[in-house]
Structure 1
Amino acid sequence: MKHRATGAVLFGGGVLLLALAAGLVFVVKPAMTKLPYDLEASTSVAEAKGATFLHITNGAIAIRQGDLKSTVLVTPNREQTANLSGDLDGDTVVWTVGQTVNRTDTKELVNAYGAMLALDRVSGAAVKWDGQYLDDTGTREKVSFAGQVYKFPFNTEKRSYDVFDRDLRKSLPAEFKGTEDVDGLEAYRFEQVITDQQLNLAADRVALLLGALAPGATQGKMTYSNTRTLWIDPVTGSYVKVREQQSKTLVPDVGTPVSLLNADFVYNDATVEASVKRANESRSQLAILGVYAPIGLAVLALLLIVAGLLVTRRGGAAPAAEARHRADPVPADDPAPTRVDQPAVRDDKSGRDGGLLADEIPPASTNWKSDDPTVPTQRPAPGEVEQR
């Protein structure tokens, strides 16, 4: 009974561990491969050395040269996320994003924008949401974010992805170009090439630029080019390095085109190091909870299940053998000898004849009597009368 109880405990423990391993694979890991609600705010810094840029100070328009620093702050908006409803509830998070571009030497603000958008928690792609906006002119504008914006999907594949471009207000393909090492992390490199695309600017803004930079021109347009290179951690889909080679050109109807921006922005070393560190930490957590822990629990579970079966089987075999032993009858033709059937034992060395003082020991069942009244007699045999 004790063996069966022990075996049941071992077997039950094994089944429980097996269920726990399955839970880690099918419940915990999928939950970890989603954008969390409590994601901490992150900051990325990109620098452009020797850039040419448009600088407007107190209404004065001028073309400058110098080093620029772009800082992007991404903050999860928990309040807006909690207010999501319908198909967005549970599957979407809202992020608030802000960017500033400053001169490195004077710290003067050159450009800035703000945005709010909703992202799918698994794919990382923008989804339709009524509250999204983009503000890069001082006025919030309703836009339709689409494609990947600040993150790629978990388990990124080696294929093209549509990436949203803020200046064009639309998403364009970023092609997979290969795998590269970024500070010891194997990353996927994607490249999006935009060439001489016309920007949709308000007429008054174009007229203001023409009046300051292209005297005599009555009409014009602004063209935009960008080679955007993204290094993505394929496990988490996070950006570990970004490079944007941007150019913007004012093209008047008369005169020479004017370069408004020519800058090569790339993540600085601190940002790359922090991005790689976050990616490695997330990778480790996913590997432990999604691979190593389930395998270890499954192996231990199988060992406990096998041990439980063996112990239970052993406990069942022992009582059965004992029961068979107790049930074996004594053969009828081989009775145990008793003293009744035993012959008299003699001391052959005595040399005496039989008699009362002889060394012969009579069997216990022998009926005998003595004429000596002091010697007690045996009980009479059945049917006889006791004699003295």
Structure 2
Amino acid sequence: MKSRVIGTVLFGFGVLALVFAGGLAFVVAPTAKQIPYDMEMTQSVAEAPNARFMQIKGGTATIESATLRSTVTVQPDADATAKLQGDLDGSALVWVAGQQVQRTDTNELISAYSTSFAVDRETAASVNWADQWLDTGGQREPVSYKGQVYKFPFGTEQKDYEIFDRDILDARPAKFVKTDEIQGLEVYQFTQTLQNETQVLPEDRVKLILGQLLPGATEGSVKYSNTRTVWVEPKTGQFLRVQEQQQKQLVSTDGRSVDILDATFAYNDETVNKSVDTVGGNVLKLDLVGLYGPIGLGVLGLILAVVGGIIVARGNARTAATGVPAQWTGSGRHAAQDEETADATAAADKS
């Protein structure tokens, strides 16, 4: 009796473990592969040593040389996310992001922008949201984001992805290059090449710098090139390292030109180390709920169910072999009493 109870309990725990394994694999794991609503603010710092750049100070534009520091912050907008409707409700998240570029020798601000847009929680690609905006000069302007911006999808593949570029307000392909390794983590390297694009700028701003840097010129544009390389951890889609080789040239319609930016920005060591720590922890969580947890619980559940089933089967086999339930056979003192009763009954029959 006791063995069958133990076997039944073990079998039940085994089935329960198998159910939990399935829940981890098919319910919890997919949820873990989504950007959380309460994600913490992220900050990345890139530096460009010996950069040449245009600086506007007191209304005067000059070409300077110094090390530049770019600081990008990204954080969720809980209020705007809560107001999402239709297909975006539950599947998208609103981000507020910004960048400041400063020269490191004086800490003077060279350029800045802020923006708000919505991304899909699984793919991290921007989605069509009516309230997205971009502010590059003190006024919010409508903008239409597309492609990836600050993150790649969970489960990034070895294929090309489009990355949105703020200077041209459009997305261009970032081609998969190769697999690499950063501090023990496997990464995918992607490179996006922009060549001789036209930077989107207000006409009055272009005329202002034309008049100062190319005297006599009244019309022109800023030509922009950038080789953007990102190293992406594929399970999380997070950036571990980013490098941008940027060039900008002010070109007038009369054929004259002047370089207004020549800089190579790359994540500093602190940002790379922080990214590795964060991503490493996130990879461990994804592996735990999507791989190790289900496998471990599945194996444990299978063992418990099999052992429990064997114990129950053996108990049933022993019962079948006796022909009657064990509790009816008697033992010890009760067995002796049964024999005495049988003898007394036989003697009475003879008399």
Deviation at 1:78, TM superposition (A): 1.4
Deviation at 1:41, TM superposition (A): 0.5
Q: Paired residue for 1:347?
A: none
Partners in 2 of 1:226 and 1:12 — Cα distance?
Answer: 61
Q: Paired residue for 2:61?
A: 61
- Alpha-carbon RMSD: 1.7
Deviation at 1:56, TM superposition (A): 0.8
Q: Paired residue for 1:227?
A: 227
Q: Paired residue for 2:39?
A: 39
| Cα deviations by residue, 1:222-254 (Å, 9 ceiling, x for unpaired) | 111000001100110001000011111111123
Unaligned segments of structure 2, at least 5 residues: 329-350
Aligned-partner SS, 2:308: helix
Give the number of the structure whose alpha-carbon radius of gyration is greater.
1
Q: Paired residue for 1:195?
A: 195
Partners in 1 of 2:14 and 2:101 — Cα distance?
Answer: 59
Deviation at 1:105, TM superposition (A): 0.5
Aligned-partner SS, 2:141: coil
Q: 1:288 to 1:217 in 2, by over 3 A?
A: same
Deviation at 1:307, TM superposition (A): 1.3
Q: 1:42 to 1:325 in 2, by over 3 A?
A: closer
Kept after mapping to 1: 8 A contact 2:250/2:259: yes
Aligned-partner SS, 1:250: strand
* Pairing of 1:76-115 with structure 2 (within 5 A): 76-115=76-115
Q: Paired residue for 2:120?
A: 120
Code of the residue aligned with 2:54 in structure 1: it is L
Aligned-partner SS, 2:316: helix
Partners in 1 of 2:225 and 2:324 — Cα distance?
Answer: 93
Kept after mapping to 2: 8 A contact 1:217/1:252: yes
Aligned-partner SS, 1:245: strand
Kept after mapping to 1: 8 A contact 2:169/2:200: no
Q: Paired residue for 2:237?
A: 237
Aligned-partner SS, 1:137: coil
Kept after mapping to 2: 8 A contact 1:214/1:255: no
Deviation at 1:106, TM superposition (A): 0.3
Code of the residue aligned with 1:197 in structure 2: it is E
The number of aligned residues is 328
| Cα deviations by residue, 1:332-379 (Å, 9 ceiling, x for unpaired) | xxxxxxxxxxxxxxxxxxxxxxxxxxxxxxxxxxxxxxxxxxxxxxxx
* Pairing of 1:335-354 with structure 2 (within 5 A): none
Aligned-partner SS, 2:142: coil
TM-score of the superposed pair, with normalisation by structure 1 = 0.82
Deviation at 1:202, TM superposition (A): 2.4
Unaligned segments of structure 1, at least 5 residues: 328-381, 383-388
Partners in 1 of 2:247 and 2:272 — Cα distance?
Answer: 24
Deviation at 1:274, TM superposition (A): 0.6
Q: Paired residue for 2:346?
A: none
| Cα deviations by residue, 1:6-38 (Å, 9 ceiling, x for unpaired) | 222111111100000011111111111110111
Kept after mapping to 2: 8 A contact 1:217/1:255: no
Q: Paired residue for 2:156?
A: 156
Q: Paired residue for 2:29?
A: 29
Aligned-partner SS, 1:236: coil
Kept after mapping to 2: 8 A contact 1:4/1:315: yes
Partners in 2 of 1:185 and 1:302 — Cα distance?
Answer: 33
Q: Does 1:302 align with 2:302?
A: yes
Code of the residue aligned with 2:136 in structure 1: it is D
| Cα deviations by residue, 1:131-182 (Å, 9 ceiling, x for unpaired) | 2111112211111111000000011000100000001101100000001122
Q: 1:325 to 1:133 in 2, by over 3 A?
A: closer
Q: Does 1:265 align with 2:273?
A: no
Kept after mapping to 2: 8 A contact 1:224/1:246: yes
Deviation at 1:272, TM superposition (A): 0.5
| Cα deviations by residue, 1:48-99 (Å, 9 ceiling, x for unpaired) | 0111111111211111111100000111111211221211111111111011
| Cα deviations by residue, 1:263-303 (Å, 9 ceiling, x for unpaired) | 10000000011111111111111112211121111111111
Code of the residue aligned with 2:225 in structure 1: it is S
Q: Paired residue for 1:351?
A: none
Aligned-partner SS, 2:79: helix
Deviation at 1:255, TM superposition (A): 5.7
Partners in 2 of 1:255 and 1:324 — Cα distance?
Answer: 108
Partners in 1 of 2:306 and 2:68 — Cα distance?
Answer: 66
Deviation at 1:324, TM superposition (A): 6.3
Deviation at 1:325, TM superposition (A): 11
Deviation at 1:3, TM superposition (A): 3.1
Kept after mapping to 2: 8 A contact 1:113/1:137: yes
Greater shift in the superposed pair: 141-150 or 288-297: 288-297
Q: Paired residue for 1:315?
A: 315
TM-score of the superposed pair, with normalisation by structure 2 = 0.90
Q: Does 1:250 align with 2:250?
A: yes
Partners in 2 of 1:301 and 1:249 — Cα distance?
Answer: 66
Kept after mapping to 1: 8 A contact 2:319/2:325: no
Q: Which has the higher strand share?
A: 2
Greater shift in the superposed pair: 285-294 or 160-169: 285-294
Q: Indicate the structure whose relative CO is greater, using CA pairs within 8 Å and at least 6 residues apart.
A: 2
